[in-house]
Structures are given as C-alpha cells and as structure tokens.
Amino acid sequence: MPRSRDKTRLRILQAAYGLFRRRGFARVSVDEIAAAANVTKRTLYSHFESKDALLAQAFEAQHDLTFSAFQTIGLELSGAPKDIVEIFFRELDVWSAKPRWAGSGFTRLVVELADLPGHPARKIAKRHKAILEDQLSRALAEVGTTRSKELARELWLLAEGAMVLILIHGDRSYASAAAEAARKLVLAHT
C-alpha cells in the first residue's frame, strides 16, 4: 500500500474513532467521518466496505494504542498487591480528570451495540478487555497474590463500574469509592 494511502486510511480511522467515541456509532454519519478526515465519501469507501467495517478497524487500531499505553501502566504495577491496586485506581482517577473525559470508548460503543452480539467491533472490544484484565492478573500473580485471575476480574469490574458511574453522575469520587472497595478485596485475598 503506498504511503499516502496508509496516511489517508489512518486519518479516516482516527476521525471515525473520535466521532464514534464522542457521539456514538448510530449518531455519526459516513459523510461526517469523511468530512472530519478531509476525504470524499468515495475515498472512505475505497478503504472500508461499510461503516461497520470502519468501526471494527477503528477499534482494532485503538486497541493497539490503548494496549501500548496500558503496557506502560502495567510496568508500574508492582510492589505488594495493595500497591498495584493503588496504582491501578490512581490511574483511573488521573484519566477521568482529563477535560472532556468520556470513559472507555470500547465500553461506550459496545453498550450501544448491545443488540448486535455478532458485530465485529464487539468481538474486538471483548478481546481488548480480556487482554487488559489478563495483564492485571499477571501483575497480581507475579507478586504472589492467590486467586489472581479472580481478583483481577473483581478489580476490573470495579474499574468499569466506576467509569460508567463517573459518566452518569459526573462525579469522580466513584474512582475513590472503587479504590476503597478494591483495597478491601485485596485484604480478603492476601
């Protein structure tokens, strides 16, 4: 693929993901994505066969970026299990403090696609969340946590719940409440 075609494709993916994340899949038209990427609708369709395929590819590209960012956080997940929990939930608190924070794009869009279980974007989101949960589980196992898979799942559930409630209520204290619940879980597991 020529370099300019790669750049155009990337521009379309970035524009699409940004619009989908902010406004949702159903409320964004292909015309809006093309305009945001500064391409024609015809050019967009030369790269992606449908809006659904574009969403799936945007999720795939975003997974790679998010996973790289989480890898960096993952390197910091060390120390005692309580330290890992502190770091994990501190990152959630810092992330949710960003201007115009909209939570996890994967979570937001999958909720919107709840009635489409076979949608390729849902499969990508499922794999994405499983990989991140597994990384947390491995960090916990490396420091000798018993039942690290179960604890990682419980911590992930608290983090996802906190993100959703922060969005619903506009109240970042849900990150602190989730962190406190996580501390209690860690005590029960250690």
> Buried b / exposed e across 126-138, counting CB within 10 Å, b at 16+?
eebbeebbebbbe
CATH number of 52-189: 1.10.357.10
Cα(167)–Cα(18) distance, integer angstroms: 17
- pLDDT tens figures, 43-52: 999 999 999 8
Q: Where are the domains of the chain?
A: 1-48, 52-189
For domain 1-48, give the CATH superfamily: Homeodomain-like (1.10.10.60)
Q: What confidence score (pLDDT) does residue 74 get?
A: 56
Q: Are 89 and 184 in contact (CB under 8 A)?
A: no
Q: What confidence score (pLDDT) does residue 72 get?
A: 55
Q: What confidence score (pLDDT) does residue 68 get?
A: 64
Classify 29 in phi/psi space as left (phi over 0), alpha (psi -120 to 50) or beta: beta
At 24 the three-state DSSP class reads coil
Q: What confidence score (pLDDT) does residue 71 get?
A: 59
The position carrying tokens 């204290």 is 173
Residue type, 178: A
Mean confidence (pLDDT) of the chain: 87
Cα(115)–Cα(108) distance, integer angstroms: 14
At 131 the three-state DSSP class reads helix
Looking at per-residue pLDDT, the higher value among 24 and 178 belongs to 178
- pLDDT tens figures, 130-159: 988 998 998 899 888 888 999 999 999 999
Percentage with pLDDT > 70 across the chain: 92
Cα(178)–Cα(167) distance, integer angstroms: 14
Instruction: Tell me, yes or no, if the two domains 1-48 and 52-189 fold the same way.
Output: no
